[in-house]
Amino acid sequence: MKRSVWLLLILALVVVYPLLFTTPFLQRLGALVLLYAIAASAWNIVGGYAGQVSVGHVVFFGCGAYASMAFFTHFGWPPIAAVPVGMMASVGIAALIGVPTLRLSGHYFSMATIAVAELARLIVTNVEALGAAVGLSGPVMPRSVFDLSFTSALPYYYLFLVVLLAVLGLTYWMENSRIGFYLRAIKDNERAARSLGVQAGRYKLYAYMMSAGLTSIAGTLYATMYGFIDPDSGLGILTSVKILIMAALGGAGLLFGPLVGAAILVPLEEISNNLLGGKGAGLTFVVYGAIIMIIARFYPSGLLKLVLDRLASAKPALSEQKVRDVA
């Protein structure tokens, strides 16, 4: 009851935000928060719910981004039309990485994800058809509305919002169905889950493929908005780290955790980039490193969890005595 009122209020604020803050900088900032929230929410499905930490998610982001720019360059498709191509490629790559590594302990999976992402970056840097080191561009002038090429960030803001709501809707459905329960069980105790008939390897793979497909949509949207992609922006390890940190900072395994993380990190990064004038790339790594250490040390379950726990503990805890009586 109370929760749905809060959610509606926040949703209303998100909807009117770009109408209240009309400067191009703030509208673009809002759109970017939503874009990264899409990617981080997609990561959350495998990294948060299933507890399998992918450190190479940019490879799926890159699939989506490169699919849109490559199909525009070679076949003249509107960038957004390549969404299914990017998704299929991502799901395929996820299967290739996941099948051999998800049955092993989590570290092998994490390492494999980094390795494949870096390998993809190296390959793309050397493939002429994908723009090699220079990158690929989208339409210079919009040919029709389907090119989704706008000067204002406002249309992107609402497009991203719709996609984000769809991703969160899907996550919510998953959270409350058998696969969501199974993923949490696997994350908590894989051996026990398997003893209850949970096909752990298969469910982790499903989560990974679903996460990969959705991440690629974020990549396509990114390329559509910027009209340009190169190996650094589309396949750089920094983007993988960014996606992971947003989810972990906000709260991995919580529906709105990644959104909270994106709403904190994206403005921080944009403001510091503005102040430092683009010379901040090295510093970004340092800042991310520091954030990782702070999360690991003080808020392992994320800021949103911290706030929710505070709210919950404000209410009288009746059940604790009961627990002691029975146990």
Residues that bind another protein (CB under 8 A): 176-178, 181-182, 184-185, 188-189, 191-200, 319-320, 322-324, 326-327
- Is 36:262 a contact under the CB 8 Å cutoff? yes
Pick 155 or 201: Cβ nearer another protein: 201
Stretch (H or E) spanning 136: strand 136-137
Q: Closest approach of Cβ 256 to another protein, in Å?
A: 18
Pick 140 or 312: Cβ nearer another protein: 312
CA 145 to chain centre: 27
Pick 128 or 320: Cβ nearer another protein: 320
Pick 108 or 173: Cβ nearer another protein: 173
Q: Closest approach of Cβ 184 to another protein, in Å?
A: 6
> Rounded CA gap, 240 and 46, in Å?
14
Torsion sign, CA atoms 303, 268, 281, 157? positive
Phi, psi of 135 (to 5 degrees): 100, 180
Start-to-end C-alpha separation, the chain: 32
Q: Which tokens go with 259?
A: 């959104």
Coil, strand or helix: which one is 229? strand
Pick 194 or 273: Cβ nearer another protein: 194
Pick 46 or 174: Cβ nearer another protein: 174
Q: Closest approach of Cβ 309 to another protein, in Å?
A: 12
Q: Closest approach of Cβ 246 to another protein, in Å?
A: 22
Q: Closest approach of Cβ 291 to another protein, in Å?
A: 24
Q: Closest approach of Cβ 320 to another protein, in Å?
A: 7
Q: Closest approach of Cβ 194 to another protein, in Å?
A: 5
Task: Tell me which residue of 175, 185, 193 sits closest to 255, measured CA to CA.
Answer: 175
Pick 139 or 302: Cβ nearer another protein: 302
Measured CA to CA in angstroms, residue 272 lies from 76, 199, 312 at distances of 37, 45, 35
> Rounded CA gap, 228 and 322, in Å?
60
Phi, psi of 168 (to 5 degrees): -65, -35
Q: Closest approach of Cβ 132 to another protein, in Å?
A: 46
Pick 141 or 326: Cβ nearer another protein: 326
Measured CA to CA in angstroms, residue 93 lies from 78, 117, 197, 213 at distances of 24, 10, 27, 10
> Rounded CA gap, 1 and 8, in Å?
11
